[in-house]
Amino acid sequence: MPNETVNSRPVVRSGIASALLPGLGQILLGERYRGAGILLGFLLILATTLWYGKPVWYVSPLLIWLWNVWDAVSLAGGRKRSILLPLFFGLAAAYGIGWQVVEIDFSKADMDRAMAILRPMVRPDFVQTRREVNQMWVPVQVPCSSEPPAARREDAGRIATVIPDCGGVGETLIVTVSGMWPNAGMNIFWQNPIGNPLMLGEGEITMLTLTSDENGSITTTIRVPTTALVAAPDPTLPQFHRIYFEQYRPTGGYELSFIGSEVLKGALATIAMALLATGLAMVFAVPLSFLAARNLMSGNPLTYAVYVVVRTLLNILRSIESLIIAIVFVVIVGLGPFAGMLALALHSVAALGKLYSEVIEGIDPGPIEAIRATGANWLQVVRYAVIPQIIPPFTAFTIYRWDINVRSATVIGLVGGGGIGFLLIELIRVNNMRGVSAVFIAIAVIVIALDYISAKLRERLV
């Protein structure tokens, strides 16, 4: 093998070259891309580990450097080494550093908190058993005036009285109600003059719930809530508060709960928001797409300039996430579905404009030529050769966009863009996990249903 002795000099030379500058030896041996790749990879990993600053990871660029010398030497002998090894070194460092940068820490997870959130979610607040309500109230003066009127009220055979007729904050009152449903649970709560309910149970944070006797009567003592006068403009001025008595009983069947109806409204608002945004976007995207179609616009320098400008604008607009546009619009037009709709529409103009223009660029010139040959005028050519070619794909893309917009609309709601997303963030804020769970289910149903419908519709168009 005389070749090996002859080649021993390049072996040494490329080895040294690569030791000085990773990849240099490979480049000298004619493997330009390999050498450049090695150099770039090495520098990348070196920079990353230096930036992170934990010496353990310096081992990665070191190993890559060693491999690179070995590879240069082998290459001079005519053998390429697999790049899997340095790739592995690099990835190991990248993942290790990434793991620490992201601050992954499973010990932070709190199972109790998780359960407190998840347990109510098992029972989404969407429907409730249908029930009727039996409500009664009696006025009480707080604080006492010199001559308080009797704290007694009669209504449809029900009588409620309070003794004494008035009281100050924290004082005890004896409350009696009769003529209610017998042997049934009853909620008793306070309502201040501006209509806010205050709890009367333990620590004033729970509902006072009692059971009526066989005559439908209850007598109990309560304390005037400590917060009864918090909202009063002048705490010394006597005002009428109310004590409410409420009984519920099922009447069979189910009905939409309050949250449930809010979820439905939100879902409809979201779908409508997406629909309106898509429609509005279509109106602007159709003419723009013609200006952004290369085959129509490359005829002369002026139209080509228009093409370049429109294309660039659409590309820039498309690259801005609709969520960010929404934040801007929330500032401009205020919270609500209108801001969300405008944001979606703006983003969709760009997205649809591009898709439409690609449809136009892809139309078959054959039919256009054929219709022109029949003696048709320009409008007839458009109507018979262009429109049939673009309508189905335009429609398909529009439906697809609507589908995407419904999804985006839920997210945009989170930043104040209205609809079901806004409801979701409100429910999370008040910690109503049953409501949150209902919203999740509604979003899932909408997305899956629309996905299916849009796929079916588009199938029929191609």
Partner 1 sequence: MLRIQNLSKTYPSGTQALKNVSFDVKDGEFMVVIGLSGSGKSTLLRCINRLIEPTEGKIFWDDLDITAAPPADLRRIRRKIGMVFQQFNLVKRSTVLTNVLSGRLGYVNPWTSLLGIWSQEDRQHAIQALERVGIADKAGSRADALSGGQQQRVGIARALMQDPKLILADEPVASLDPVLSHSILQYLEQLNKEGITVICSLHFLDLVHRYATRVVALKDGVKVFEGAAREIDRAKFKEIYGEEAQEVRAASL
Provide the binding-site residues for partner 1, judged by CB under 8 A.
Answer: 364, 366-367, 369-377, 379-380, 383-385, 388-389, 392
Q: How far apart are CA 256 and CA 210, in angstroms?
A: 27
Q: How far apart are CA 169 and CA 139, in angstroms?
A: 15
In angstroms, the Cα distances linking 215 to 158, 163, 176 are 11, 21, 13
Which of residues 12 and 370 has its CB atom nearest to partner 1 in the complex?
Answer: 370
Closest CA to 222 of 167, 155, 179, 180: 167
CA torsion angle 269 271 277 279 (round to 10): -120
Smallest distance, Å, CB 348 to partner 1? Answer: 25
Q: How far apart are CA 456 and CA 322, in angstroms?
A: 26
Smallest distance, Å, CB 351 to partner 1? Answer: 24
Q: Which two tokens stand for residue 392?
A: 């189905």
Q: How far apart are CA 322 and CA 445, in angstroms?
A: 23
Smallest distance, Å, CB 287 to partner 1? Answer: 19
Which of residues 58 and 384 has its CB atom nearest to partner 1 in the complex?
Answer: 384
Smallest distance, Å, CB 395 to partner 1? Answer: 12
Cα angle for residues 177, 172, 155 (degrees, 5° grid): 20
- DSSP state letter for 149: P
Which of residues 43 and 391 has its CB atom nearest to partner 1 in the complex?
Answer: 391
Q: Which residue has the tokens 């008040």?
A: 430
Which of residues 196 and 380 has its CB atom nearest to partner 1 in the complex?
Answer: 380
Q: How far apart are CA 181 and CA 177, in angstroms?
A: 11
Smallest distance, Å, CB 364 to partner 1? Answer: 7
Smallest distance, Å, CB 400 to partner 1? Answer: 18
Helices (H) and strands (E) in the chain — how many of each? 16, 9
Which of residues 133 and 302 has its CB atom nearest to partner 1 in the complex?
Answer: 302
Task: Give me the residues paired with residue 173 across strands.
Answer: 222
Is 212 in contact with 257 (CB distance < 8 Å)?
no
Which of residues 128 and 395 has its CB atom nearest to partner 1 in the complex?
Answer: 395
The H-or-E segment that residue 174 falls in is: strand 172-178
Which of residues 81 and 294 has its CB atom nearest to partner 1 in the complex?
Answer: 294
Q: How far apart are CA 436 and CA 123, in angstroms?
A: 10
- Order the strands of the 218-223 sheet from edge to edge: 152-155, 158-163, 172-178, 218-223
Smallest distance, Å, CB 381 to partner 1? Answer: 8
Task: Give residues with Cβ within 8 angstroms of 382, minimum separation 6.
Answer: none
Smallest distance, Å, CB 296 to partner 1? Answer: 16
Smallest distance, Å, CB 379 to partner 1? Answer: 6
Is 14 in contact with 81 (CB distance < 8 Å)?
no
Which of residues 353 and 393 has its CB atom nearest to partner 1 in the complex?
Answer: 393
3-state secondary structure at position 146 = coil
Which of residues 261 and 380 has its CB atom nearest to partner 1 in the complex?
Answer: 380
Q: How far apart are CA 80 and CA 67, in angstroms?
A: 11
Smallest distance, Å, CB 61 to partner 1? Answer: 53
Which of residues 274 and 385 has its CB atom nearest to partner 1 in the complex?
Answer: 385
